[in-house]
Amino acid sequence: MKLVRLVVYLVSATFACGVDGNEANRPFYDGVRAEASGDLDTAIASYEKAVAISHSANLHGNLANLHYKTGSSGKAILHYRKALLLDPGNPELSANLAFARKAAGLSPATPSADDFHFAPESISIWVWATTIAFWLGIYLGLILTRSYISGFTKIVGVIGWAGIVAFGTYAIWRADRNIDFLAREAVAVLPATTNEGNETAVIRLRRYAGGANDANAELKPGEVVRIDKDEKGQLKTHVTKDQVKWYLARSVSGGKKGWATDKELQRILR
Amino acid sequence: MTRIIHPFHCLWPFLLVGFSAIGQQQNIRIEANFSPSAITLSRQTTYKVTVHGSQQSPSGSLPAIAGLGISGNPRVFRAASFLNGVPSVRLELSFAVKPERHGSFTIPSWNLSVQGTPHRVPAATLRVLPPNQEDVLRAQARQKQESDLRQALFLEVNLLRKYLFEGETTLGSIDLYIWERLPITRLVQLPQKNGDAFSQSEINRPIEKRTSRNGKNYTVYSWPVALTAAMEGMHELFYKMTVRVRVQNNRNSPSGNPFLQDPFFRDPFFGFGREEAMSVTSEKLKLEVRSLPMEGRPHAFRGAIGTISTNSATDAERVTVGDPVRITFTVTGKGNFGVMPAPEIDSSEKIKVGPPAFSFEGDENLRYEGTQHFDYVVTPLRPGQIEIPAVPFAYFDPTSERYVDASGNVHTLRVDAGETWVDPSPPQSAFTEKQQNVEPARNLFQTESEPSEWRKSLTPEPVFRSSAFWYAQIAPLFCFCGIMGWRIRQRSSSRDSSAKRFARLRNEMKRATRFNDTLGFFRATRGAIREKVGALAGQEKPETLARDEVLAILLQRKASDELISEINEVLETADAHEFAGDASASLPLLDWQVRIKRLLKNIRALG
């Protein structure tokens, strides 16, 4: 019964994905046409419509290109990040992101193992590899207990197997932690009311959640921060009387901390 | 005799309890007659049954009379009165009767059940006379009235063409004419098409105008409609709609003249009568739908029919590789724009063509006359001089009844290779350096004209958070448990069989001792030692162990030298008896048995 339920779930999930994609095709092509005719604002609006329905690497890539061309470097970096989440191996997107970061005056990103080996999107690979190693070891053990190989060899084999499984478990934990980080990551974006083409424009991290107070620190457009968690494990937010949502965020290095609105800090996974 | 059942008890819902009680105390008497009892053929009369002494609903079946049309739904009338201080009640049932021929008709006596008791209804006779002069005049007046009514409210369908080709769209109008004196209150229903061989555009708000015809002033509501022929052959087409008019008298009055109820003959203006729905139907049009000729049909023809012209244009003549170019193919004129399929441009190695976008300039509902744009996004894939093929398009002109090839122009596009971009950021680590080495040089900010794979969410979902993953683990887990269970069972059964074999050998030793059978004793002893030692080493077939192997196992198990030498001695003795023919030698088997028992106990202690 469970197997039937599983099959139904998978089929319906596949179908649902297909439906979403088809619906998003039209605004995507509208965007391409508008961009081809030079109407960048209409193109951005069309792509944003498609983003509201579904996601694709090329969609976010095109949107990022347009934001860069219209001077919104923060949004460009945000959408390059989104595009790379969907197509991590795309060198063109990586190159564009690096270029946009440099143009925004940000220091080049230093890739670490968390960006590649333990990247969020690698978690499924780690889970399956560890699972396969675990069961393979178990079954090999069953077979080899009756074999005539020496006890030393058996012990070495068990230690090796345990080491592989332990490393796989560690990799899963680390990738899962990076997913948590990613869920809290946001890109600093200049709100639409400000002049985004102004190179000196910055996003202020305030001492308190509210517009009129001193800034703890300032962020350049495109800079990545992580939103703090509250005691319940949720994102630490505050909604003011004028219904503005504020996030308590800190830079990845931890050097900057303060409150900014959800218009100024746009989360990557939204 | 054909009989019609009339369930009278269903016809009057209220019971006058007081008069019913009175009625129950009176004698019941029934009368029946026609009122009037003599009529001409064109008139109607009433067959009246009166039940005196009861107001309760009777039940019975009225006989059917050939040549008389008797309504199945009688009017019921109840009356109560006091005559000289005596209460009197009665119930009247009135049936409308319409004769079908002249002559004398008698409804014979029939049974009617009142208060559960059957009573006889007396016979009644009707005389129907031939039509007189008055009837003839009345019939003439009726025909005139019907003709006038048709002139007061009618529906007309006007089409531009007398015949159509299959798939052709033509413009037409549906006109509702309302005589100015006819008190129409509202149009209940828009014109409904009857004719499956045609599809039509949506019918929206009508255009109102005033016109005069045959000396009468009319208000005309006109709905423009685009009709598309779907099936070849001769087909009928008509429209039907409903309007509400104000009438004055009661429609269901059996005594009223039905023709006087027609709104045309009522006072149209100042009455406060009720509203009544009235259905209007247009005349049936017989339209021929011809099939399109096969002769001279171009390859590019995909169903466009009309009188049209085409044009194609690009928005750029020089681009870089990957930059999309828009080609607009325009079709202008009159035709079946609502069903016109988009022409297709095939992709090639040099260009990639996206699906076209549609836009129509003109009446979006009718889609008969205007301009249809098909916008294609063409992405050049290679640098150089590229020719974008002409948009293939052909249409059928129904006026000249021939096909016309109206494909677009071939557009030449100069495609530049574009600037090559080199990552300006310095290498940060060995990893990025490696990445840069393998990364091909590409154009920066190139727009992709195709969406890649769509994903519902950006969030990477760990597979172990899905129940499917854990369900997938059930299979290897069950398999593992099964193997383990099988092994435990096998081991247990092996142990059981070892114990059985040992018990059998011990019994053989005892029996050999009792019969002084030295050969049998040592054979059983050797087997018992092998069994015990084999069990120590987990041997599945201990009877195959050689003496050296037995001793090696004991040595491995760190048995004492004394035990090993004693076992060796016993096994040598057993071999001597078995293979050296020393069977005749008589040994004290009872002592040997005690000794062997001790040795076996020591072996078991090693485990």
Give the tens place of pLDDT for each residue, B266-313.
554 444 567 778 888 898 888 899 989 988 888 889 889 999 999 998
The larger pLDDT score, comparing residue B584 to residue A22, is at A22
Of A73-77, A211-215, B537-541, the range with the highest mean pLDDT is A73-77
In chain B, residues 266-305 whose CB comes closer than 8 Å to chain A = none
Structure tokens at A57: 């690497």
- pLDDT exceeds cutoff 80 at B582: no
A162 φ, ψ to 5°?
Answer: -65, -35
State mean pLDDT over B7-35: 58
Which residues from B are below 8 Å from A124, CB to CB?
460, 462-463
Does the beta-carbon distance from B454 to A57 stay under 8 Å? no
- Predicted local distance difference test score (pLDDT) of residue A195: 47
Over residues B585-606, the pLDDT tens digits come to 567 888 888 989 999 999 888 8
Q: How far is A223 from chain B (nearest CA, A)?
A: 17
- pLDDT exceeds cutoff 90 at A230: no
Q: Measure the CA–CA gap between B150 and B164, rounded to whole angstroms.
A: 30
Cα separations (Å) of A124 from A240, B169, B347, B464, B470? Answer: 39, 57, 37, 8, 13
> Nearest 10 degrees: CA dihedral of B98, B101, B105, B108?
-70
- Predicted local distance difference test score (pLDDT) of residue A38: 81
Sequence-distant (6+) residues with CB within 8 A of A99 are B421, B423, B424, B425, B444
Q: Specify the DSSP class assigned to residue B542.
A: G
Average pLDDT, chain B: 81
Lowest average pLDDT, out of A78-87, A189-198, A228-237, B346-355, goes to A189-198
Residue of A nearest to B467 (CA): A6
Name the residue ranges covered by the structural domains of chain A: 2-110, 115-184, 189-267
Average pLDDT, chain A: 83
Structure tokens at B530: 């092998």
Residue of B nearest to A38 (CA): B315
Which residues from B are below 8 Å from A85, CB to CB?
458, 460
CA proximity to B246, closest of B276, B280, B219? B276
**Fold for the domain defined by B295-412:** Immunoglobulin-like (2.60.40)
A99 touches chain B (CB under 8 A): yes
How many beta-carbon pairs below 8 A join chains A and B? 158
**Identity (one letter) of the amino acid at B64?**
A
The larger pLDDT score, comparing residue B131 to residue B581, is at B131
Overall residue count recorded for chain B in this entry: 607
**Identity (one letter) of the amino acid at B211?**
T
Q: Measure the CA–CA gap between B57 and B313, rounded to whole angstroms.
A: 86
Of chain B, the end-to-end C-alpha distance in Å amounts to 112
B437 touches chain A (CB under 8 A): no
B452 touches chain A (CB under 8 A): yes
- pLDDT grade, residue A135 (50/70/90)? very high
Lowest average pLDDT, out of A70-84, B10-24, B258-272, B461-475, goes to B10-24
Name the residue ranges covered by the structural domains of chain B: 3-129, 141-288, 295-412, 498-606
Q: Specify the DSSP class assigned to residue A55.
A: B
Q: Specify the DSSP class assigned to residue B282.
A: P
Query: What CATH number does the domain located at B141-288 have?
Result: 2.60.40
Q: How far is B377 from chain A (nearest CA, A)?
A: 6
Q: Specify the DSSP class assigned to residue A194.
A: S
- Predicted local distance difference test score (pLDDT) of residue B349: 82
Of chain A, the end-to-end C-alpha distance in Å amounts to 35
From the list A96, A135, A142, which residue is nearest B444 (CB)?
A96
- pLDDT exceeds cutoff 60 at B239: yes
- Predicted local distance difference test score (pLDDT) of residue B146: 75
Residue of A nearest to B473 (CA): A131
> Please, which residues bridge with residue B4 across strands?
B62
State mean pLDDT over B249-278: 54
Q: Measure the CA–CA gap between B457 and A120, rounded to whole angstroms.
A: 14
Q: How far is A231 from chain B (nearest CA, A)?
A: 23
Angle at B279 between CA B276 and CA B280, to 5 degrees: 135
Share above pLDDT 90 across residues of chain A, in percent, rounded to a whole number: 30
Lowest average pLDDT, out of A131-135, A179-183, B338-342, goes to B338-342
Q: Measure the CA–CA gap between A120 and A174, rounded to whole angstroms.
A: 9
CATH superfamily of A2-110: Tetratricopeptide repeat domain (1.25.40.10)
Q: How far is B457 from chain A (nearest CA, A)?
A: 7
For residue B317, give the 3-state DSSP assignment: coil
**Identity (one letter) of the amino acid at B212?**
S
> Please, which residues bridge with residue B326 across strands?
B377
- pLDDT exceeds cutoff 80 at A120: yes
Q: Measure the CA–CA gap between B131 and A10, rounded to whole angstroms.
A: 83
The larger pLDDT score, comparing residue B63 to residue A149, is at B63
Over residues A4-35, the pLDDT tens digits come to 565 555 555 544 444 455 688 888 988 888 88
Sequence-distant (6+) residues with CB within 8 A of B532 are B502, B600, B603, B604
Share above pLDDT 70 across residues of chain B, in percent, rounded to a whole number: 86
In chain B, residues 396-435 whose CB comes closer than 8 Å to chain A = 421, 423-426, 428-429, 431-432, 435
Lowest average pLDDT, out of B142-151, B321-330, B560-569, goes to B142-151
Reported as half-sphere exposure (CB side, CA atoms, 13 A), residue A49 has a value of: 16
Structure tokens at A105: 């005056």
Contact between A100 and A80 under an 8 Å Cβ cutoff? The reply is yes
Cβ neighbours of A185 (radius 10 Å): 19
State mean pLDDT over A113-126: 86
Does the beta-carbon distance from B463 to A99 stay under 8 Å? no
Over residues B315-333, the pLDDT tens digits come to 888 887 777 888 889 999 9
The larger pLDDT score, comparing residue B214 to residue B66, is at B66
CATH superfamily of A189-267: SH3 Domains (2.30.30.40)
Residue of A nearest to B444 (CA): A96
Query: What CATH number does the domain located at B3-129 have?
Result: 2.60.40
A10 φ, ψ to 5°?
Answer: -65, -45
CA dihedral sign of residues B493, B496, B498, B500: negative
State mean pLDDT over B110-124: 89
Residue of B nearest to A101 (CA): B425
Q: Measure the CA–CA gap between B236 and B240, rounded to whole angstroms.
A: 13
Over residues B408-438, the pLDDT tens digits come to 888 888 887 765 444 444 444 444 444 444 4
CA proximity to B276, closest of B295, B287, B288, B262? B262
Contact between B214 and B154 under an 8 Å Cβ cutoff? The reply is no
Over residues B535-544, the pLDDT tens digits come to 888 877 888 8
CA proximity to B476, closest of B484, B488, B465? B484
- pLDDT grade, residue B125 (50/70/90)? very high
- Predicted local distance difference test score (pLDDT) of residue A173: 93
- Predicted local distance difference test score (pLDDT) of residue B249: 55
- Predicted local distance difference test score (pLDDT) of residue A5: 60
CA proximity to B381, closest of B327, B356, B417? B417
- pLDDT grade, residue B95 (50/70/90)? very high
